[in-house]
Amino acid sequence: MKSYRVQPGSSVNLKKWDPADKSAFKGSKARGEAKVLQLTTHLETLQEMLYAEHKHKVLIVLQGMDSSGKDGVIRKVFEGINPQGVEVVSFKQPTPIELDHDYLWRAHQSVPAKGEITIFNRSYYEDVLAVRVHNLVPAKVWQRRYTQINNFESILAEEGLTIIKFFLHIDPAEQKERLQARLDEPNKRWKFNVLDLKERKLWADYTKAFETVLSKTSTTCAPWYIVPANSKWYRDLVIASVLVETLSGLKMRYPAPQAGLAKVVIH
């Protein structure tokens, strides 16, 4: 999956990244879904070990256009994970209290502790994405935030946090199909928001903003992965593969059992 990792210092042009790509897996959709199940089962074991060892902490950042599949990833890739050691944080419009602090304050409050995995559904990157596209602050303000974010992530990494960031890459045609499905299917209609149509008209602006984010903030300690997300099963396969590889690389072990357990007799 290294081909999807954005190399530090590279310039990203999303036109060169195919959102329908499936080149890292040779096989049918059915085989791909079976592979996803295998990976997520392995991920369950790794998460249990991470929680038990209580040494490492992991932050997963999910970003993408509306309907790119952030919620779907959380459901499918993490469906068997013990919720005791995983938290999902959704970044919506800032509250008045959050606006009274710096833009990274609410993110820092939600960073995982030892033994935990935290998933950011959107993140502090909205402060160089939506904020930029909608001109909510002057350009000189959001332009300096790339360096600030890199420094923030570097501090967290130096303090033992493993950071993995995924950009879910879909094309406008796929987004149209998914938005239409929300309108057409009664059990999905609750997810439809007319504001998504206004955001859709800003596709080019968001693309430019995402390209800058991916170019300026993919670092050795906090890499970005551009995930082809037109195909949901392949999206899940890529993300699950990266997570299994990353967590396996932490070389975790279960804690040693309490001494003398061999002599314990339960009556």
Cα 77 to Cα 184: distance, rounded to the nearest angstrom = 26
Cα 65 to Cα 199: distance, rounded to the nearest angstrom = 9
Confidence (pLDDT) at 262 = 85
pLDDT of residue 97 exceeding 90, the answer is: yes
Cα 256 to Cα 248: distance, rounded to the nearest angstrom = 19
Q: Is residue 261 part of a domain?
A: no
Q: Is residue 216 part of a domain?
A: yes
Q: Is residue 243 part of a domain?
A: yes
Q: Write down the pTM of the prediction.
A: 0.95
Q: Is residue 266 part of a domain?
A: no
Give residue-wise pLDDT tens across range 192-225: 889 889 999 999 999 999 999 999 999 999 999 9
Give residue-wise pLDDT tens across range 37-88: 999 999 999 999 999 999 999 999 999 999 999 999 999 999 889 888 999 9
CATH number of the domain bearing residue 140: 3.40.50.300
Confidence (pLDDT) at 95 = 93
Q: Is residue 224 part of a domain?
A: yes
Instruction: Describe the chain by its helix, strand, coil percentages, rounded to 5.
Output: 50, 10, 35
Give residue-wise pLDDT tens across range 131-140: 999 999 999 9
Domain total of the chain? 1
Domain that holds residue 40: 2-253
Q: Is residue 75 part of a domain?
A: yes
